[in-house]
Amino acid sequence: MTSTGSRLDHLECPECRTTVPADRLATTCPTCGHALFAVYRTSDWSVVDWRASLRERPATLWRYRELLPVRESSSIVSLGEGFSPVLSLGAIPEAPTIDLWLKDDGGLPTGSFKARGMTAAVSRARELGVRAFFVPSAGNAAVALAAYAARAARSARVYLPESTPAPMVGACRRYGATVVQVPGTIREAGVAARAAEASQGAFDLSTLREPYRAEGKKTMGLEIWEQFGDDRMPDAIVYPTGGGTGLIGMFRAFAQLRELGGLERPPRLYAVQPDGCAPVVKAWNDGAARAEPFPDPHTIAPGLLVPAPFSSERVLEALRGTGGGALAVPDAEISRAVERLASRHGISASPEGAATYAAVRPLVERGWVRDGERVLLYNTGSGIPFL
């Protein structure tokens, strides 16, 4: 076997500081039930030498293997994911004085950023002996799990809201996953999934209910750091927020880079949600420590229809810890943003990713981004139907 050189040390709960051995299959904190996160040994490590070595590695997210949780290379389940492009959008009418960029995860395997989390989570779970998986999802995570489970020769069951777009449902089935559709939103799908799976023995890959999807999402921040360089990092990153794991992952990446001496200042992180389902925005505006379930949730962006994100404390921590914020945009503006990204820039964006483009004008009007700043929008998925 070939070691990846992973510096994974243990798991820790940031809420109560309980630690859990990394080589034990884990879900949430056994003490308080909050999310667990991976901790790495970095005190004896040179980020300068590491960054130089990255130039010789394949252009996938596994180039960051020392800061990822898989110990043996043979355990990695990969479809070539990661290292998505960053594209300059130039000046746009809504914000002619800022330097606007977009990172496009729409070309990743399975069509969205969910490939990042699933490659890390499925690989690590496989390394720890897991044979079957399940996940409740609004669509993209289910497609990603179905594909990576097929790649790993493992079984998968996915629980989807009945409103999930048909191409996503069909993709899951073609990858070989068992599909269960549930009335309501991802919240109801999660309740149904955990009730049905209680005695089945499959491993739960729900957002932040296991430690390693967040590690895959962390690579978004590592890529931004490598692609821009410390001296040209964005001043702000605008991110479409459902469960919020991507924000948490980037926040963790920037914190680790600062600890290593590879980053002076993290970008400000801004969460964007549709105004019909904006629990994080409401919690931000209220100064609350966590988000409460959003009443009557609705939006055209299925991946943002998350009325009660698990571990929202960590999402709000990422926003406050970087001096960022949260704002909501109407569905009508999201629809216009989908069209403008396509017609102005040639970019196929999902409604979720396009929400960031819709947020540019209000960010400027509120003074949250300023003249001359470099602002990076994160497109989390393609607008082209799956398969």
Residue by residue, pLDDT tens for the chain (387 residues) are 699 999 999 999 999 999 999 999 999 999 999 999 999 998 888 888 899 999 999 999 999 999 999 999 999 999 999 999 999 999 899 999 999 999 999 999 999 999 999 999 999 999 999 999 999 998 999 999 999 999 999 999 999 999 998 999 999 999 999 999 999 999 999 999 999 999 888 999 999 999 999 999 999 999 999 999 888 999 999 999 999 999 999 999 999 999 999 999 999 999 999 999 999 999 999 999 999 999 999 999 999 999 999 999 999 999 999 999 999 999 999 999 999 999 999 999 999 999 999 999 999 999 999 999 999 999 999 987 643
Look up residue 321 and give its two tokens: 């810890």
Assign domain 86-112+214-379 to a CATH class.
Answer: alpha beta
Q: Could you tell me where the beta strands, DSSP code E, fall in 217-298? A: 236-240, 268-274
Question: How many Cα atoms within 13 Å fall on the side-chain side of residue 190?
Answer: 18
Q: Cα dist. 147→158, 243, 368 in Å?
A: 12, 21, 39
**In 3D, which of 27, 23, 49 has the Cα closest to residue 37?**
27
Rounded CA-CA distance 68/75 in Å is 12
Q: Cα dist. 301→138, 279, 354, 374, 380 in Å?
A: 10, 15, 9, 26, 12
Strand partners of residue 386: none
Rounded CA-CA distance 297/274 in Å is 10
Q: Cα dist. 29→132, 164, 258 in Å?
A: 22, 31, 26
Contact 83, 61 (CB under 8 A): yes
Q: Give me the torsion for CA of 285, 363, 306, 275, rounded to 10°.
A: 80
Tell the CATH topology of 114-204: Rossmann fold (3.40.50)
Domain spans in the chain, listed from the N-terminal domain onward: 8-75, 86-112+214-379, 114-204
Rounded CA-CA distance 172/140 in Å is 10
Task: Give this prediction's pTM.
Answer: 0.95
Give buried/exposed letters for 357-383 (b at 16+ CB in 10 A, else e): bbbbeebbeeebbeeebbbbbbbbbbb
Rounded CA-CA distance 97/92 in Å is 9
| Domains 86-112+214-379 and 114-204 in one fold | yes
Look up residue 239 and give its two tokens: 């991110």
Look up residue 258 and give its two tokens: 């600062």
